[in-house]
Amino acid sequence: MFANLVRGAVAGAAGTTALNAATYLDMALRARPASETPQHAVDEIARRPGHPVPGDGDARQNRLDGLGPLGGIATGVGFGAAAGLVRPLLLRLPAGLGALALAAAAMAGADGPLVRLGLIDPRTWSAADWLSDIVPHLAYGVVTRVALAAPGG
């Protein structure tokens, strides 16, 4: 079980790298700005229990600019670790279906809390907004599934 957990975390790290690469490629191709949603999420999650991110002005914003992406990395690695725990089941599925399942789970796990926090409303998204979310998560699912299936360990 521990080996699958570690294998999954490593697979999730690889998937997270793919997700980030797809996101940055989209930003470069379409000249779109980076999302500030991860920073807003960290700010809200810290503020609600009474532990706001410390600092004022630029110092506080710089902390949020670092913590937002770190939260995304933790989410991707964490989902990978969870996928590692169900690795035998995932590997029984056809590769494409396993990748889609991982992509959908990661997208729901990332977007669900943002909806609950009131930071996003996917009902208002344009087709381009949906693609900006779906494509990177598909990259995550594919790379995570490939890494989970890699020989060794």
- Domain of 67 in residue numbering reads as 2-149
- The pLDDT value recorded for residue 85 is 97
> And the tokens for 1?
């079980």
Other beta carbons within 10 Å of 116: 9
> CB of 73 within 8 A of CB of 16?
yes
Residues with pLDDT less than 50, the chain: none
Residue closest to 38 by CA, chosen among 73, 1, 12: 73
d(CA 75, CA 14): 12
What pLDDT, on the 0 to 100 scale, is given for residue 152?
Answer: 77
Q: What is the pLDDT of residue 153?
A: 57
The domain tally of the chain equals 1
What is the tens place of the pLDDT at every residue in 14-37?
999 999 999 999 999 999 999 999
If we measure between CA atoms, which residue out of 75, 68, 149, 132 comes closest to residue 105? 75
pLDDT given at position 121: 97
